[in-house]
Structure 1
Amino acid sequence: MSLSVRLGHASLTGPRARNEDFVGAVTPEGAELDNKGLLAALADGVGGHADGREAAEFTVRSLLCDYYATPDTWAVPKALDKVIGAANRWLVSQSAKRGEAAGMATTLTAVVLRGRRWISSHVGDTRLYLLRDGALKRLTVDHVWEHPELSTVLSRAVGLDRHLAVDYAEGELAVGDRFLICCDGVWGTLNEARLLAILEKYDDPQEAAFALADSAVDSGSQDNCSALVLQVDVLPRDTLRDALSRIRALPLPPVMKPGQQIDGLTVEDVLHESRITMLYRVRAVDGTLAVLKTLRPDADAQDTAALAHEEWLARRVTDAAFPQVLEWPQRSHLYYLMSWHEGETLAQRLARGHRFTAVEVADLGQRLMKALGALHRLAVIHRDVKPANLHLGHDGRLRLLDLGVAASDGHDELFNEINNPGTPSYMAPELFGDGRASEATDLYAAGVTLYELLTRKYPYGEVEPFQRPRFGDPVPATRYRPDTPEWLESILLKACARDPAQRFETAEECLLALERGAHRPLQVPRRRPLAQRDPQLALKLLAAVSLLANVVMIALLLRR
C-alpha cells in the first residue's frame, strides 16, 4: 500500500491582460513516490512586470524538475532549499544582465506529500491551507509590507534579493486531508468561510479548483485567479518506506560456516564478526564473489531496522570509491550483498609492517578526500573513518568501507546504530562532549588516519574506550618521522586541529591543499599561543609582570 492522492488545478486570467500565475505538480509512482514524494507548486509573478509570468513559470518548472534530481539521502527541506536557491540566483542574475528584466520575481508556495508526512516551502503571498475534520487552517504567513498607496508590497519573493529566506513547515498526514494552494487573486477575494464552503461542496479536487477560481472572478477579483487542490485518499502502512518494511520482515539467517549455503550462495569465509554483525565472503553459482552482511540470530528489531537503513543508504552511494550493493532476487533472509574486491585494508598493511612514505600518504589522502566529498555531497556522514575501513584493492582503487554507523540527513533519527558510532582514537574532541557528528568530524578522523599511516602514532595519543581525553596541541609528525615534508605536516595539523573552526571546511578544500603540495604550501600555526592554551596562566603571568614593574618603579622613586 502506497500514498494515493487526487489533485486538481485551475488558473484563470481574470481582468488582467495576461496570466502571470503558473501551477504545476509531479505525481510519481513506485520507488520515486516512496523516496521523493508528490510535489505540487504555485507561483504568482510579481504583478505588472513584463517578465512576471516568465519568473513564475521558470521557478515552478525548475522546482518540479530539479527536486527529483537531488539525492534521495537529502532531507526534503534541504532538497527544496537547494533548488529554490538556484532558481533565485538565476532570476537575480537575469535582472542584473538585462535592464528590461530588472525586478523580475515571483512568489512560490509548494508542498511535498511523502509517506505519512507533508512538508511545505513558502515565500511571498500565495497561501497554503489544510482542510481537516471540517476546519480550514492556514499554514503559511504572507511576506508583505503594508503600503499607504498600494494594497501590499512583497517583502520576500524568489528573484527579489540575492539572499532569499524560505519558510519551511511539516506535519503528519491523515486520510481525507485536503490541501489548497492559491494566489492572492483567490484568497484576497474569497474569505476563509467561502473557501471552506467551496472545498466541502465539491468532492472532486478538479471541480473544487475550478469552482474556487470561477468564484473569485465572479466576485470581482482584479487579479489572476489560480488554485491547486490535493486530496489524500490512502496513506502508506507506516512511516518507514515500504521497501524497508519488507526487508525488516525477513528472518535472520543462522550463524554460518564455510561450505554452508543460503539462497544459492556458498559461504567461503567468515570475514568479520562482532557482537551483532556478521560478514561473509560468498560465491554465487556463476562464480561471482560477494560480501554478505547480516546480523546474529539474537539481534533485536532496532538492529534489523539499522541494517535495513544501512542497505538503503549504501544503494544510494554509487561512487566507485565505495563497494556497490548487488541485487539478489532469491533473498529469503535478512542480509544484503556488496561487491567483493581483492586486496587488503590499510590497517592490515600497517599490521604487516608496511612503511608508508610521504608520497603514498599524500596520494591516499587525495583519494580519501574524493571519497568523503562524494559522501558529504549526499548529506551522509560516515562517522567511522579509520585505516580498518579503508581498502586498497588489487585494482589500485581505494575504497571507503562500512556505512553501518553512517548518518544520513533527515533519516538517521529513524534508526539506532548497530555499533557505537566511531572509534575513540579517531573521534574529534567535540564528540566527547555535546557535539554532533558532521563533515568536520569526518575530516578530523581522516586527518588522524593519514597521520597514523605516516607515523604509526596518533596526534593526541591513543584514546581508550570510555576515556574522556584532554586535548592539548597535536604532536608534529616530524617528531616521529623527521623526513615528513613541511607542507604535508601542515595539512595534517590543520586536519587534526582541536578546534573545528581551525580545520578544513570541506573535503574539497583539503583535497586542493594536498594537490598543491609543496608548490603552494599551507601555512598553519604550529603551536597555540599561551593565552589560548591556558588563559588563567597567561593572566597570572601578566599580573606578575605588572606587579614586578610596580615594585621596580617604587624602588626607583625611593632612591630619589
Structure 2
Amino acid sequence: MPLQLTIAHTSTTGPRERNEDFCGFVTPEGAQLANKGALAALADGVSGGTGGREAAEYTVRGLLADYYATPDTWEVQHALDKVLGAINRWLISQATTRRDLAGMSCTLSALVLRGQRYHLAHVGDSRIYRLRGDVFTQLTTDHVWDRPDMRHVLKRAVGLDSHLMADFAEGELQAGDVFVLVSDGVWEPLGELGMHSALNLHRNPALAAGELVRLAHKQGGQDNASAVVVRVDAVAEDNLRDHLAAERRLPVPPRLKPGTRLDDFEVVEVLHESRMSLLYKVRKRSDGRLWVLKTLPPRAANQPEFAAALIQEEWLAKKVIAHYFPQVLPLAADERSALYYVMSWHAGATLQQHLDAGRHFSIAEATQTGIRLIKGLAALHRLNILHRDIKPANLHLGEDGKLRILDFGVAASSGLHDTGGGAGTPSFMAPELIAGAAATVQSELYAAGVTLYYLLTRKYPYGEIEPFQHPRFGDPPPPTRYRPEIPQWLENLLLKAVAFEPKNRFETAEEMLLALEQGERHPLGAPRRTPLLTRDPARVWQALAVFSIVLNLLLVYLLIVA
C-alpha cells in the first residue's frame, strides 16, 4: 500500500499591499512517490527587501521542481541540501547584479513525506508543526536574534549569506498525523493554542488551512498569512530506503562478552563471527526469552557498505513471515542504541553440522527435507526475494523438527537490487552464475538440488569448486553411483534440478515441490544427456581443429608419396 496524503494550502495578503509569501506542494504517484516522496514547501519573503516575493516564489518553485530531478540514489537530506544550495547561490547572484532585487531573500520550511518517515528542511522563522493525537509539537527552531527588539530580524535566510545553513530533521510517520507549515503571519497572532484549536475544529486540510489564515487576520495579524496542511491518511509499507535512512546513523557496537548488556538484551554467548557479521545468543531482559542478535564486527565500523548490507538483510528478513525462517523481532527506533537486529532463537543444528557429526540421512529424511526447503523457497519467491546462498550450512534443523532457512546476508529482491555479482558458495552456484549471469529462480532451485544431492551422497554433482576456479561442466554422475538404493524417480528429479542448462531445470519452486511430493506416483523421465557442444564448446572446437590439422597433414603426406 502506498503512502496516502491529503494536502491543501491557503495564502492571503491581508492588510499589506503585496503578498510576499509563497507556498506549494507536489504529490507524485507510483515509483516517484516511493523513491522521492511528496514535498510541501512554504517561503516568506524578507520584508524591507525589494525582491522578497520573487525570492519566495523562486525558492519554492525551484525546490519543487529540482528536488525531483536529483538522482534516486541520493538520500532526502542530501538532495534537499544540494538543491537549496544552488537556489541560494542564484538568489545572491540576482541580488548582486540587479538593483531592483537588492535584498532578495526569504525564509523556507519544507517537508518531505516518504514511506514511513518524514524529513524537513528549515531556515528562517516560518514554522512546521505536527499534530499527533492531541499533542501539538513545533518541529522547527526560529533563526532570529535572541533580543526582544530584534526578534523579527533573521540570522539565517535563503539568499542572505553565500553559505546557506539549513536545519534538517527526520522522524517516523503515523497514520493520522497532521503537519502544518505556517508563516509568521499565522503563528504569531494565533499562538500554539489558537492553531491547535483550529486544527481540532477542522480535520479537513482545506478547511483547516483556510481557518488558520482567516483567524490570523481576525486576531489582528498585519502580515501576509499562509498555511499548508498535510494529513497522513495511510502510511506506506516498509521500504528499504526508509530502513536505511532510519538506521544508517546507528553506531556499530563494541565486541560484547557474555553478561554484557545492550539495550534490553544480555549476551549469553558468541555464536559466530566472520568478516561481515557477528552473532550473539542473547536474553531479552524484560521477558527472559532467548534471541539471536546479529551485528557487524567492530573492524567493519568504518565500512558503510557493510552497514548497508546488514540493514538490507534485516529489511528482507522482516518481510518473510513463515515458519521456514527465523522471525525478526520488531524494534522501534528508540529501542536500539546501536546497529543490530534481533531474530528468533531455535535450538538445533544446521544440516552441515549434522553431516560433520557423521549423521546419515535416509531417503525419506532427505525427501522430507527437500519438501520443506522448497516450500520455504516458494515463500521467498512469492515475495520476489532470492536467497542466493542455499547450502547445508544455511539450513537449520530445529529440535522442534522444523527446517529453517538461515542467513539473508546476500539475499536480494530482483528489480530492486543487483542480483549479479556471483554471490553464494561456488560448489552450490549454477554454471551460469559462475559465468557472470544474474541469479534467477532456476539458479536458486539448482542450489537446492545440489544441497539434496550432497545430503544423500556427500558428493557435489560437478565436483567441489573453489573460488575463482573456472570449472568444466559435463553431465553429473547419477547419485545411484554413490547410493544404489536411491529410487529412480528421485535420481531423475535431482538430475533435472542440477541440469547444466537452466531451461532443462524446474521453472518454479512449485513445480519442483510437486515432483518431490508425487515423485513415486508420477515419476519424471530420465533427463537427456547434454550435447558436448553445449557443455564445452571450446573443447569441441579444439577437437575439430586437431582433427583438421591431422587430416591436412595426412593429405600432404599422400600427395608427397603419390
TM-score (norm 1): 0.55
Secondary structure, aligned partner of 2:282: strand
Higher relative contact order (CA 8 A, sep 6+): 1
**Alignment partner of 2:457 out of 455, 458, 474:** 455
Runs of 5+ unmatched residues, structure 2: 9-25, 39-59, 66-71, 81-109, 111-204, 207-228, 552-562
CA distance in 1, matches of 2:230, 2:309: 30
1:135–1:510 CA distance, 2 compared to 1 (3 A): closer
Residue 202 of structure 1 is matched in structure 2 by: none
1:265–1:391 CA distance, 2 compared to 1 (3 A): same
Residue 442 of structure 2 is matched in structure 1 by: 440
CA distance in 2, matches of 1:360, 1:336: 33
Secondary structure, aligned partner of 2:254: coil
Residue 34 of structure 1 is matched in structure 2 by: none
TM-score (norm 2): 0.55
CA distance in 2, matches of 1:499, 1:241: 36
CA distance in 1, matches of 2:33, 2:541: 58
CA distance in 2, matches of 1:467, 1:258: 40
Once the 2 structures are TM-superposed, how far is the Cα of residue 327 of structure 1 from its aligned partner? Answer: 2.8
Residue 294 of structure 1 is matched in structure 2 by: 295
Residue 259 of structure 2 is matched in structure 1 by: 259
Q: Deviations over 1:259-278 (max 9, x none)?
A: 22211312111111001210
CA distance in 1, matches of 2:529, 2:250: 55
CA distance in 1, matches of 2:73, 2:295: 34
Q: Deviations over 1:125-168 (max 9, x none)?
A: xxxxxx986999xxxxxxxxxxxxxxxxxxxxxxxxxxxxxxxx
1:250 equivalent in alignment to 2:250:
yes
1:544-559 superposed matches below 5 A? none
Q: Deviations over 1:380-409 (max 9, x none)?
A: 010000001001111111100111110113
1:335-354 superposed matches below 5 A? 335-354=340-359
Residue 321 of structure 1 is matched in structure 2 by: 324
Residue 306 of structure 2 is matched in structure 1 by: 303
Once the 2 structures are TM-superposed, how far is the Cα of residue 242 of structure 1 from its aligned partner? Answer: 3.5
1:7–1:524 CA distance, 2 compared to 1 (3 A): farther
Q: Deviations over 1:220-242 (max 9, x none)?
A: xxxxxxxxxxx9999x9xx9634
Letter aligned with residue 514 of structure 2? L
1:416–1:376 CA distance, 2 compared to 1 (3 A): closer
| Contact 1:428/1:444, CA 8 A, preserved across alignment | yes
Secondary structure, aligned partner of 2:299: coil
Secondary structure, aligned partner of 1:473: coil
1:439–1:533 CA distance, 2 compared to 1 (3 A): closer
1:508–1:263 CA distance, 2 compared to 1 (3 A): same
Letter aligned with residue 263 of structure 2? D
1:113 equivalent in alignment to 2:33:
yes
CA distance in 2, matches of 1:344, 1:262: 26
1:405 equivalent in alignment to 2:410:
yes
Once the 2 structures are TM-superposed, how far is the Cα of residue 421 of structure 1 from its aligned partner? Answer: 2.1
1:354–1:376 CA distance, 2 compared to 1 (3 A): same
Residue 46 of structure 2 is matched in structure 1 by: none
Letter aligned with residue 292 of structure 1? L
Secondary structure, aligned partner of 1:350: helix
| Contact 1:321/1:400, CA 8 A, preserved across alignment | yes
The number of residues matched between the two structures is 350
**Alignment partner of 2:467 out of 452, 465, 474:** 465
1:367 equivalent in alignment to 2:372:
yes
Once the 2 structures are TM-superposed, how far is the Cα of residue 537 of structure 1 from its aligned partner? Answer: 7.3
CA distance in 1, matches of 2:371, 2:441: 16
CA distance in 2, matches of 1:517, 1:5: 52
Letter aligned with residue 444 of structure 1? Y
| Contact 1:117/1:171, CA 8 A, preserved across alignment | no
For the pair shown, which has the larger CA radius of gyration, 1 or 2? 2
| Contact 1:6/1:233, CA 8 A, preserved across alignment | yes
Once the 2 structures are TM-superposed, how far is the Cα of residue 518 of structure 1 from its aligned partner? Answer: 1.3
1:278 equivalent in alignment to 2:278:
yes
| Contact 1:478/1:484, CA 8 A, preserved across alignment | yes
1:312 equivalent in alignment to 2:232:
no
1:252–1:135 CA distance, 2 compared to 1 (3 A): closer
CA distance in 2, matches of 1:336, 1:396: 25
1:527 equivalent in alignment to 2:532:
no
327-336 or 376-385: which moved more?
327-336
The RMSD of aligned alpha carbons is: 4.2
| Contact 2:243/2:311, CA 8 A, preserved across alignment | no
CA distance in 1, matches of 2:361, 2:514: 21
Once the 2 structures are TM-superposed, how far is the Cα of residue 335 of structure 1 from its aligned partner? Answer: 0.3
1:537–1:476 CA distance, 2 compared to 1 (3 A): farther
| Contact 1:323/1:339, CA 8 A, preserved across alignment | yes
Q: Deviations over 1:5-40 (max 9, x none)?
A: 6669xxxxxxxxxxxxxxxxxxxxxxxxxxxx9786
Secondary structure, aligned partner of 1:298: helix
1:8-407 superposed matches below 5 A? 113-116=33-36, 241-285=241-285, 286-299=287-300, 300-329=303-332, 330-407=335-412
Residue 103 of structure 1 is matched in structure 2 by: none
| Contact 2:473/2:536, CA 8 A, preserved across alignment | no
| Contact 1:530/1:538, CA 8 A, preserved across alignment | no
CA distance in 2, matches of 1:477, 1:292: 39
1:492 equivalent in alignment to 2:490:
no
Letter aligned with residue 320 of structure 2? V
Residue 143 of structure 1 is matched in structure 2 by: none
1:39–1:339 CA distance, 2 compared to 1 (3 A): farther
| Contact 1:3/1:115, CA 8 A, preserved across alignment | no
CA distance in 1, matches of 2:455, 2:362: 9
**Alignment partner of 2:514 out of 488, 507, 512:** 512
Once the 2 structures are TM-superposed, how far is the Cα of residue 493 of structure 1 from its aligned partner? Answer: 0.5
Q: Deviations over 1:421-456 (max 9, x none)?
A: 201100111111230011111111100000000000
